Structure 1
Amino acid sequence: MSTPSLREALRAHTDAEHQALHRHAAFDGLFRGTLDVVGYRALMIRLYGFHTPLDRAIMETLAGRPAPDSGYRYAPRAPLLAQDMQALGAPGGTPPLCPGARALVTPDTIGGVLYVLEGATMGGSQIDRAAHRLLGHDGPAGRRYWAWCRAEGKHRWPLTLRHLDHLQSTGAPLPPLLHGALGTFRLLADWLAPLDLPAPIPQARRA
């Protein structure tokens, strides 16, 4: 019986969390056309708060490490999300940033973290179409991140898979990689949880 690939192991270990994220209220509303621009802006602000510390942790962890044979290079997401927030009229100042990224990203777990983030880039092409419909204009303003996902995902995913093959062939321990992938899904789900809260019921105006 052949040994499953690292990609297969990561997918099997995180399938439940992956499917739950697809059903998140904000993404579901965007696809169904029930999310308004205010809700979409809240989603983009939240994603910026997630990716900013994660970008930093990944770049710090990769700094000074020899490039693998896969040719994989990480591309920070937060700058694109910052442009989208500005285009959407987000309030000034730094939004809240997601805690836990620094502790999650280590040399042993980073392969699992990247598996989740690059997989999300592939899914971003579908989100880009939904964001396009919501915003109602052809320019990239407000959806630069998703447009980047659509343009780059098909190139980045094969590099990511080669990077995972490289990790497997060099004997990278599996448990930390699984922890990195599962932890990333759970960290994002927890960070997006406030967007699941129902809108407050307006109080009746006093006469």
Structure 2
Amino acid sequence: MTSTDNGLTWAGPVVIHEQVVKPEWETLRGRPDTKPHNPKSRAQRWEKDWHQRYGCGPGNAMVQLKSGRLLVPARHREDIGQGRLRSFAHSFYSDDHGATWKLGGNIGLHTSECQFIELNDGSVRVISRNESAEDAPDNLRHLTSLSQDGGVTWSAPQRLEQLITPRCHGAVERHDAKTLLFSAPASPIRQAEHP
């Protein structure tokens, strides 16, 4: 949606799906979904299988960089061979105030819900939920990566040893020029009262 009066009124929405999704991501359980808008299609039943193929967000995670670029976090499941779907976070961005969008690179294997923050030097740090089965259930840590080109490409993700996670998204916000704040459950497992 777009506004030309500082958000008083809105026009749209405009579908940007084909600008920010690769055709091979249009799968569910590793099979193409040839009719994603058909109510009987696999895409319409994904909730029953809990195999989300694509998602944006979280909702507060889009950032506008000092350059003016709009940078949005998203995630998808990708077949890494033999029908094995794995989670990848990625970015998409706009340099024309949202009129057009381009797909950024994958952030890395096992990344998922994530949040971007621009650092003082202009680089962009991402902190991501970790979907790694190898680390589960008691050794999960959030993952981080860095982009030097405004979210187009990303360094290989690294584990943040101090940020324990029960496979949950965490929020990151700037406190001041030198301090980032991170908030998430600090437990390696889901608690019985919060399954």
TM range (shorter): under 0.3
TM-score w.r.t. length of structure 2:
0.22
> Quick one: higher RCO (CA 8 Å, sep 6+), 1 or 2?
1
Q: Which has the higher strand share?
A: 2
TM-score w.r.t. length of structure 1:
0.21
Q: Which has the higher helix share?
A: 1
